[in-house]
Amino acid sequence: MKCRVCREPAIIDIRRHNANFCVEHFLRLCRDQVAKAIDRHEMLRPTDRVLVAISGGKDSLALWDILVELGYEADGLYLGLGIGHYSTSSEGFARRFAEDRDLRLEVVDLQEDYGFDVPEGARAARRVPCSACGLSKRHLFDEAARRGGYDAVATGHNLDDEAAVLFGNVLHWQQDYLGRQRPVLPAGNGFPRKVKPLVRLGEREMAAYCVLRSIEYMVEECPMAVGNKHLGYKEALNAIEEQSPGSKHNFYFGFLDRAVDRFGAAFEGDGTDVGTCVRCGAPAGGEVCAFCRLLERVGGSHPDYHSGPTSTGNRTSVSLAPTRVGASDGAAGVRP
């Protein structure tokens, strides 16, 4: 098996490209695909400050690495979810990555700062854990981006993630979610711009990128996610992909090219009923945003506010002054 570019021995085959690559040209492919996604979908300007949502897993750390390699000013934000050993280990991977590369990582801890964790939030709200987790993530990453003056929030959603979400939303014809399933959501209605620069790269490629770049990441799956529908959709799509390479790419990019505009606006919220949460100032459909409703049910509270980030090494307790930000709960469908 030889590299398509240089004919040296290859280390990975990418069947949907019908091509094999050596280390050097595979890493170049990954960076080129991210640059292409950013350019084609007008995700970022060269001078943008980017907040990368860091989980400690392969996708977010690879994304952070590639954005820095491409010359973007990119900081990370890790959210401690309180999921036992999984969260402790994930935070360790995130912190070591940042420390080794002298990058700035902020940490928000749900239990420490808000008085609840994801399992408690799920029980109190009678939601599945992934729903309470997603709601908290969206709210807190949006809030941090506004507070920190970032131009965009970048998440590590890859082609497999997007294809699986699309698959689920098509199965249930979640029209509002389908309209927002785009690789970039412009800032609007009080929400920051959201970008997904990894949409041209598959999950296997991101894991390979980390191995070849010696990026240590949290390999174990979140115990709360085991058996969820999203993983089932991925398995189903991979079974199709094995028989017909390129199916996931064609499914997702065909949707973007031919269908997404039929489903509505490329904004969070619907643009007509977004007000401001009376408790935290986030965008909200009613008087109180979904995150503050969750906080009330679980008996938590907003933290004491700091005047600004206070650094302890690379760990930074962040200011959480109330402002706008928001989220809707997305219990029925899968939010893009």
Q: Does residue number 207 form part of the binding site for other proteins (CB under 8 A)?
A: yes
Phi-psi region of 271 (alpha: psi -120 to 50; beta: other; left: phi over 0): left
**41 within 8 A of 68, measured Cβ to Cβ:** no
Q: Does residue number 137 form part of the binding site for other proteins (CB under 8 A)?
A: yes
**What is the β-pairing status of strands 49-54 and 152-154?**
parallel
Q: Does residue number 155 form part of the binding site for other proteins (CB under 8 A)?
A: yes
**What is the β-pairing status of strands 73-80 and 12-14?**
unpaired
Residue closer to other proteins (CB basis): 30 or 130: 130
Q: Does residue number 33 form part of the binding site for other proteins (CB under 8 A)?
A: no
Phi-psi region of 78 (alpha: psi -120 to 50; beta: other; left: phi over 0): beta
Q: Which of 95, 139, 146, 157 binds other proteins (CB under 8 A)?
A: 157
**301 within 8 A of 295, measured Cβ to Cβ:** yes
What tokens does 156 get? 């590590």
CB of 302 to other proteins, least distance (A): 22
Q: How many residues bind other proteins (CB under 8 A)?
A: 47
Residue closer to other proteins (CB basis): 281 or 336: 336
Pick the stretch among 41-49, 105-113, 199-207, 301-309 that binds other proteins (CB under 8 A). 199-207
CB of 150 to other proteins, least distance (A): 17
Q: Does residue number 316 form part of the binding site for other proteins (CB under 8 A)?
A: no
- x/- mask, other proteins, residues 44-73, rule CB under 8 A, reads -----------x-xxx--------------
**37 within 8 A of 66, measured Cβ to Cβ:** no
Residue closer to other proteins (CB basis): 222 or 265: 222
Q: Which of 91, 109, 160, 268 binds other proteins (CB under 8 A)?
A: 160
CB of 230 to other proteins, least distance (A): 5
Q: Does residue number 225 form part of the binding site for other proteins (CB under 8 A)?
A: yes
- x/- mask, other proteins, residues 233-262, rule CB under 8 A, reads -xx--xx-xx--------------------
Q: Which of 220, 257, 261, 287 binds other proteins (CB under 8 A)?
A: 220
Helix, strand or coil, per DSSP, at residue 258: helix
Burial of residue 247 (CB within 10 Å: 0-12, 13-18, 19+) is middle
CB of 47 to other proteins, least distance (A): 27
Residue closer to other proteins (CB basis): 321 or 331: 331
Nearest residue to 114 via CA among 138, 93, 140:
140
Instruction: Return d(Cα 135, Cα 17) in angstroms, integer.
Output: 36
Instruction: Return d(Cα 94, Cα 313) in angstroms, integer.
Output: 13
Instruction: Return d(Cα 304, Cα 32) in angstroms, integer.
Output: 43
Neighbours of 100 (CB within 10 A): 12
Instruction: Return d(Cα 48, Cα 66) in angstroms, integer.
Output: 15
Q: Does residue number 324 form part of the binding site for other proteins (CB under 8 A)?
A: no
Q: Does residue number 20 form part of the binding site for other proteins (CB under 8 A)?
A: yes
| Whole-number Cα distances in Å, 283 to 24, 178, 267, 268, 275 | 45, 21, 13, 10, 6
Instruction: Return d(Cα 135, Cα 132) in angstroms, integer.
Output: 5
**Which residues of this protein are in contact with other proteins, per CB under 8 A?**
1, 10-13, 15, 20, 23, 55, 57-59, 130-131, 133-134, 137-138, 155, 157, 160-161, 202-204, 206-208, 211-212, 214, 219-222, 225, 228, 230-231, 234-235, 238-239, 241-242, 335-336
